[in-house]
């Protein structure tokens, strides 16, 4: 396989990474990550404490150079989820910036610093040989409808294939300067948002934290592309009315890309009206990386996720398992995909891996229709127990299990409710042990955040005397909102 990062191998002196006032060129990154790679080479697997910082990017690149599979960990992961991830993936060591206090389960492991001072090496070593295309590059944890999150094993081949398909679809070049504020422990922020610019030989400026001011500042000073989740574009759409600088900055961008959840047509329209620019959507999944996109040279169409990317085969399948051949803008089927962009397996879960495929096609669980010209429109999801909030995928079951462990909770059900800002908001329906002294919403939110992750906390709590159940005793979630 040719190098995953040709510009690193070529020691390009062009800018590569910018996090506030910390920046590295491709050549400097090659030196820093190369030195770090030499320290971890041979480790079976490493975790990276994925703060939105330069050190995280250096750590991940070092692991990729060394051919060591890397598990990015959300630094806001709660105790139970972290224990699961660390036990399941068993990293040999942890990469983290100095000064960060790690939770006990990670603090027990050997720690390697990712700060520039720690990885500065007077010797500019040759980079290690390129690992095999099928070797695992990253293991990214993702929620399912039930059970704890599963580790998605992504080979180098998939990372390269998806980034090269996006190069084609977006005419993405080394002249592009990306700006974003996405977290670095998921595919969107890390693989597309950091590894993407590095593979192209271009650069990324990470805002650390999302703000419309930060987006405006970077797009007015040389950044050409913006990546965000719909919540970020919604906040941009809200701010545009009173912020001519933001409108001007967006109008000058080459490409505005949204993904991870559907961007409502209303927000598409508001941004279009205020800036004259169209946001384009792409559709992907942790297991498949990117599947479709509106092309930079194609017709933008709000409400669609565009056409299959180069190398990606996509089909719609009806409930009986038959392929839908109609491109009629009407017939709904589940999206199934095949191609070099796919993951290899769920770590330690052969059962789940097998169940995820239908004769070699990956079942996405997303329901869609196709316009006559092939544009895909996602219309829903098969599983009602999967919630997308702020672009994060969250399983209702994992939250219910944690809520049920709270001493004040007798019964619990979790649903997603439409939310203008987050797309969906997590709602907890609680039957308290003591009707006259139920645990407060804040307490339950803090309980979930401490065990799972802050983005999994319920934003609304509703108290009931009993949950609606059918004759079989199963909770009838659909009747909760009614
Ligand atoms: C508030 N906070 C709490 C509590 N209440 N923490 C613990 N317990 C509580 N009770 C804290 C939070 O930790 C956080 O801390 C702060 O309050 C605000 O958090 P939150 O309300 O969650 O933030 P938000 O403003 O709602 O965030 C919106 C967001 C975020 C920035 C858009 O949702 C986001 O970054 N989304 C991106 C998701 C993403 O990248 N998905 C990609 C996966 P502090 O102030 O310290 O932060 S999908 C994917 O990869 C596929 C492949 C694809 O297609 O892309
Ligand atoms: P995750 O498993 O966190 O990687 O999230 C993947 C899921 O996000 C997909 O299965 C879709 O349901 C959803 N998704 C990603 N991009 C889009 C998009 N542009 N429009 C609608 N849904 C999307």
Q: Write the CA distances from 14 to 35, 174, 255, 396, 415, integer angstroms.
A: 20, 9, 21, 45, 47
Q: Write the CA distances from 119 to 123, 308, 429, integer angstroms.
A: 11, 41, 49
Whether residue 181 is contained in a domain is answered as yes
Residue of 389, 446, 414 whose CA lies nearest to 76:
446
Whether residue 322 is contained in a domain is answered as no
With both helix axes pointing from N to C terminus, report the angle between 230-240 and 212-219 in degrees, rounded to the nearest 10.
80
Whether residue 57 is contained in a domain is answered as yes
* Strand-strand pairing, 203-206 and 15-19: parallel
Residue that the structure tokens 């989820």 belong to: 81
CB 271 within 8 A of CB 219: no
Whether residue 113 is contained in a domain is answered as yes
| pLDDT at site 126 | 74
Whether residue 288 is contained in a domain is answered as no
Question: Domain total for the chain?
Answer: 2
Nearest CA to ligand 2 atom 7: 285
CB 281 within 8 A of CB 229: no
Q: What is the CATH number of the domain that holds 180?
A: 3.40.50.12780
Q: Tens of pLDDT along 409-424? A: 999 999 999 999 999 9
Quote the radius of gyration of the chain (alpha carbons, Å): 22
Domain boundaries, position 127: 6-194
Report the separation in Å between the CA atom of 284 and the middle of ligand 2, taken as the mean of its atom positions.
Answer: 6
Atom number, ligand 1, closest to the C-alpha of residue 76: 13
Q: Does the structure show a pLDDT above 70 at 53?
A: yes
Report the separation in Å between the CA atom of 183 and the middle of ligand 1, taken as the mean of its atom positions.
Answer: 8
Q: Which ligand is nearest to the CA of 303?
A: 2
Q: Tens of pLDDT along 110-161? A: 999 998 665 555 566 677 888 999 999 999 999 988 889 999 999 999 999 9
Q: Tens of pLDDT along 278-290? A: 999 999 999 999 9
Strands of 355-422 (E only): list them. 357-358, 361-370, 376-381, 386-389, 392-395, 409-419
Whether residue 118 is contained in a domain is answered as yes
Q: Report how far residue 253's alpha carbon sits from residue 475's, in angstroms, rounded to the nearest whole number.
A: 48
pTM of the model as a whole: 0.97
Q: What is the DSSP letter of 10?
A: T
Q: Which ligand is nearest to the CA of 443?
A: 1
Q: Is the C-beta atom of 366 inside 6 A of ligand 2?
A: yes
Q: Report how far residue 404's alpha carbon sits from residue 275's, in angstroms, rounded to the nearest whole number.
A: 47
List residues near ligand 1 (CB under 6 A).
76, 182-183, 186-189, 210, 229, 231-232, 259-260, 284-286, 390-392, 445-446, 449, 454-455, 457
Boundary-marking domain end, from 169, 194, 219: 194
Pocket test for ligand 1, best of 260, 284, 442 (most atoms within 8 A of CB): 260
The rounded Cα 30 to chain-centroid distance in angstroms is 25
Q: Does the structure show a pLDDT above 80 at 359?
A: yes
Q: Does the structure show a pLDDT above 70 at 338?
A: yes
Atom number, ligand 1, closest to the C-alpha of residue 261: 54
Boundary-marking domain end, from 160, 177, 194: 194
Atom number, ligand 1, closest to the C-alpha of residue 182: 40
CB 238 within 8 A of CB 265: no
Whether residue 323 is contained in a domain is answered as no
For the chain, percent of residues with pLDDT exceeding 70: 98
Report the separation in Å between the CA atom of 153 and the middle of ligand 2, taken as the mean of its atom positions.
Answer: 18
| pLDDT at site 146 | 86
Q: Which ligand is nearest to the CA of 166?
A: 1
Boundary-marking domain end, from 145, 163, 194: 194
Q: What is the CATH number of the domain that holds 410?
A: 3.30.300.30
Q: Report how far residue 284's alpha carbon sits from residue 296's, in angstroms, rounded to the nearest whole number.
A: 17
Q: Is the dihedral of CA 239, 240, 246, 250 positive or negative?
A: positive
Q: What are phi and psi of 102, to 5 degrees?
A: -90, 150
CA atoms within 13 A on the CB side of 105: 19
Whether residue 356 is contained in a domain is answered as no
Nearest CA to ligand 2 atom 10: 285
Q: Is the C-beta atom of 386 inside 6 A of ligand 2?
A: no
Pocket test for ligand 2, best of 144, 284, 312 (most atoms within 8 A of CB): 284
Query: Kind and range of the H or E element at 429?
Result: strand 423-432
């Amino acid at each position: 396989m040719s190098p995953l990062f040709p510009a690193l191998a070529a020691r390009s002196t062009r800018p590569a990474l910018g996090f506030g006032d910390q920046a590295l060129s491709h050549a400097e990154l090659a030196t820093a990550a190369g030195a770090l790679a030499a320290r971890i080479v041979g480790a079976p697997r490493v975790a990276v404490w994925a703060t939105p910082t330069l050190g995280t990017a250096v750590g991940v690149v070092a692991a990729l150079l060394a051919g060591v599979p890397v598990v990015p960990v959300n630094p806001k992961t709660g105790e139970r989820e972290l224990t699961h991830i660390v036990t399941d993936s068993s990293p040999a060591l942890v990469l983290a910036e100095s000064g960060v206090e790690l939770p006990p389960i990670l603090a027990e492991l050997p720690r390697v610093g990712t700060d520039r001072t720690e990885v500065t090496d007077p010797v500019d070593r040759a980079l290690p040989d390129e690992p095999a295309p099928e070797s695992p590059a990253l293991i990214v944890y993702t929620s399912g409808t039930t059970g704890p999150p599963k580790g998605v094993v992504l080979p180098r081949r998939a990372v390269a294939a998806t980034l090269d398909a996006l190069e084609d679809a977006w005419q993405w070049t080394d002249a592009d300067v990306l700006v974003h504020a996405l977290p670095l422990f998921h595919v969107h922020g890390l693989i597309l948002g950091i590894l993407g610019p590095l593979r192209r030989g271009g650069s990324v400026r990470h805002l650390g934290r999302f703000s419309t001011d930060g987006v405006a500042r970077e797009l007015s000073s040389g950044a050409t592309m913006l990546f965000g989740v719909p919540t970020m574009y919604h906040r941009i759409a809200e701010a545009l009315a009173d912020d001519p600088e933001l409108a001007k900055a967006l109008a000058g961008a080459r490409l505005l890309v949204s993904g991870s959840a559907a961007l409502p047509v209303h927000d598409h329209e508001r941004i279009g009206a205020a800036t004259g620019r169209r946001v384009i959507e792409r559709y992907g999944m942790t297991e498949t990386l990117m599947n479709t996109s509106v092309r930079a040279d194609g017709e933008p169409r709000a409400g669609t996720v565009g056409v299959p990317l180069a190398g990606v085969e996509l089909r719609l399948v009806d409930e009986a398992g038959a392929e839908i051949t109609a491109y009629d803008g009407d017939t709904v089927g589940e999206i199934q995909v095949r191609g070099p962009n796919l993951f290899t397996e769920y770590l330690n879960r052969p059962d789940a891996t097998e169940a995820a495929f239908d004769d070699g096609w990956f079942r996405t669980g997303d329901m869609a229709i196709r316009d006559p010209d092939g544009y895909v429109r996602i219309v829903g999801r098969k599983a009602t127990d999967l919630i997308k909030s702020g672009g994060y995928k969250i399983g209702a079951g994992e939250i219910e299990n944690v809520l049920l462990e709270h001493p004040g909770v007798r019964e619990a059900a979790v649903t997603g409710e439409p939310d203008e800002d987050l797309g969906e908001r997590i709602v907890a329906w609680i039957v308290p042990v003591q009707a006259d002294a139920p645990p407060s919403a804040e307490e339950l939110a803090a309980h979930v955040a401490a065990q799972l992750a802050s983005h999994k906390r319920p934003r609304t709590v509703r108290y009931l005397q009993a949950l609606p159940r059918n004759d079989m005793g199963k909770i009838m979630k659909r009747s909760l909102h009614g």
